[in-house]
Amino acid sequence: MRYFRLFFALSCFVSFNAVAEPPNLTWVKKEIEVYHDSGAYQRELTAVIEEAHQYLLKQVALNKQRQTKEELALVLDIDETSLSNYDKLARRNFMGTREVIHNEILAADSAPIKPMLALYQDALKNGIKVFFVTGRTESECDATQKNLLVAGYKDWAGLYCKPDNYNSYSIVKFKTKMRKLITEKGYTVVATIGDQYSDLLGGFAKKEFKLPNPFYYLP
């Protein structure tokens, strides 16, 4: 029994010390700032968008070869996918209440992510219909539409905002439902692009593209 107690005590000690201390939050935020300001974020973001761009052009070419043409569609997220909020995030030290974020959205002044805007415009030029599916709420939809237009996004086929009474922990259910709705309208969703895995999960798209975003996580 004495040896058992000693073994148990040692096991607890080892288990306790095996849990490493997480990185210090202040330094993590500094690393994020360096990642963004060094240009690494922009390079990685642009690389994924260019990969998606080339994929879309290939889908257009393949569609031209079909006897029965498909109605091609692209689904885009908005925040940190089509519009950048980095200046706001950095200004509030990567924190903020729902009320603060809501007021930022209503200001409708977020800048476009330029490589995505170029992809968007080329997709339209090649006959791809573009749909925005966002976790922004219906009460924020008018401001979102205004912001998209000011940023240069025009002639989209649909803008779907989350219902104000949406009560699921994750956005996956809503975004999946909207992609399903788009396919039921007769479109082939050739790609969906977002900065969160929750933007991409759930199916109803031929391919998913995940953009980098170390700034925040949304389930």
- Computed over every residue of the chain, the mean pLDDT equals 94
Query: How far does the chain reach from its first CA to its final CA, in angstroms?
Result: 48
Q: What is the pLDDT of residues 42-63, one digit of tens each?
A: 999 999 999 999 999 999 999 9
Q: What is the pLDDT of residues 101-134, one digit of tens each?
A: 999 999 999 999 999 999 999 999 999 999 999 9
Domains, in order of start, for the chain: 23-210 (3.40.50.1000)
Cross-strand pairs, 84:
111
Q: What is the pLDDT of residues 179-201, one digit of tens each?
A: 999 999 999 999 999 999 999 99
DSSP H or E run through 162: strand 158-162
